[in-house]
Structure 1
Amino acid sequence: MQSKATTPEQYIAELPEDRREAMSKLREVTLQNLPKGFEEQMIYGMLGYVVPHSIYPNGYHCSPELPLSFFAIASQKNSINIYHMMVYSDKKLHDWFAAEYPKYCKSKLDMGKSCIRFKKMNDIPYDLIGELLSKVTVEQWISEYEKMLKK
């Protein structure tokens, strides 16, 4: 479900009411905890948090005209999802998150490679997501991304 919204505010306003509050809170937590240098924008029809071209001119290697994505939030058909690229690429960060999750939620962690799905809005661990976001700087993400490209 990709939105055609052009701003985060429009994206959230178009959501069903039961999703609006959770998405607004996720956005707020993201903006409060995301390290300096990342920028919010609509990307791939969701709320995206990227390394802007002003910091990383190369952009995303598959589409260099796009900035380097780091984190995204989306309201999908059956869940609210977050996409954290470093959780996918850094086993240590992934394992930390997986170990911490049960301390915040009673539900089982529903996680793909970089996607974490929340089917129940009351199960979203906002504090844990904030902590996860605060753990990776722009410089660390660029370094990790470039390591992956060399493989």
Structure 2
Amino acid sequence: MISKAKTPEAYLAELPPERKEVMEKLRRVVLNNLPEGFEETMNYGMIGYVVPHSIYQDGYHCSPELPLPFLNLASQKNHIGFYHMGIYSDPELLEWFTTEFPKHSKRKLDMGKSCIRFKNPNDIPYELLGELVSKISVADWIRTYENTVKR
């Protein structure tokens, strides 16, 4: 479900009340743990957290006019999506997350390459996601991106 909202606030305003509450809490967790330098924006119809062009002028290799993406939050039709590019590109971070997840959730981890899906909003491990967000600085992400993603 791609939103045409221009701001995170407008995106949240479009959501049904039960999804809005969960997404607002998830957004607060991200903002409270996001390392300095990342910027909140809308991208790909989702709430996004990016490295702005003022820090990384090259932008995203697929679309250089876009800032370098790092993290996205989305209320999808059947789940809440938490898209974290770091776990996609850093095997050690992925290993840490998959090892920690069972300590924070009774549910099986439902995950794609960079997307963690939460079908039951009551089972979101907010504390663990906050810790995940805090683990990569802007400099770390640029270095990882240039070494593993951008080719």
**TM-score, normalised relative to structure 2:** 0.98
- How big is the shift at 1:17? 1.2
Q: Map Cα deviations across residues 63-110 of structure 1 (whole Å, 9 max, x no partner).
A: 100000000000001000000001000111001000100111101000
Which consecutive unaligned segments of at least 5 residues does structure 1 have? none
Match for residue 83 of structure 1?
Answer: 83
TM-score normalised by the chain length of structure 1: 0.98
Alignment match, 2:131: 131
Are residues 1:99 and 2:114 paired? no
Q: 1:122 to 1:65 in 2, by over 3 A?
A: same
**Paired residue secondary structure (1:3):** coil
Alignment of 1:26-37 (within 5 A): 26-37=26-37
Q: Whole-Å Cα distance in 1 between the matches of residues 145 and 64 of structure 2?
A: 14
Segments of structure 2 that go 5 or more residues without pairing to the other structure are: none
Is 2:111–2:117's contact at 8 Å kept on the other side of the alignment? Answer: yes
Matched residue SS, 2:26: helix
Distance in structure 2 (CA, Å) of the matches to 1:62 and 1:28: 29
Question: One-letter code of the match for 2:20?
Answer: R
Secondary structure of the equivalent of 2:70?
strand
Which consecutive aligned stretches of 4+ in structure 1 deviate over 6 angstroms post-superposition? none
How many angstroms apart in 2 are the aligned matches of 1:137 and 1:97?
17
Measure the CA separation in 2 of the matches of 1:18 and 1:92.
Answer: 34
* Match in the other structure for 1:118: 118
CA distance 1:31–1:150, shift in 2 (3 Å): closer
**Distance in 1 between the 2:122 and 2:100 partners?**
17
Aligned: 1:38 with 2:68: no
For 2:121 and 2:150, the matched residues in 1 are separated by 38
Whole-angstrom CA distance in 2 between matches of 1:110 and 1:150: 26
Find the aligned partners of 2:36 and 2:88 in 1 and give their Cα distance: 21
Please tell me the residue identity of whatever aligns with 1:116: I
SS in 2 for 1:111: coil
Paired residues of 2:61 and 2:150 also in contact (CA < 8 A): no
Q: How many residues align?
A: 151
Residue 65 of structure 1: aligned partner: 65
SS at match of 1:130: helix
| 1:107–1:149 CA distance, 2 compared to 1 (3 A) | closer
Same amino acid, percent of matched pairs: 66
Query: 2:17 & 2:38 partners in 1: Cα distance?
Result: 28
Contact 2:74–2:81 (Cα < 8 Å) also in 1: yes
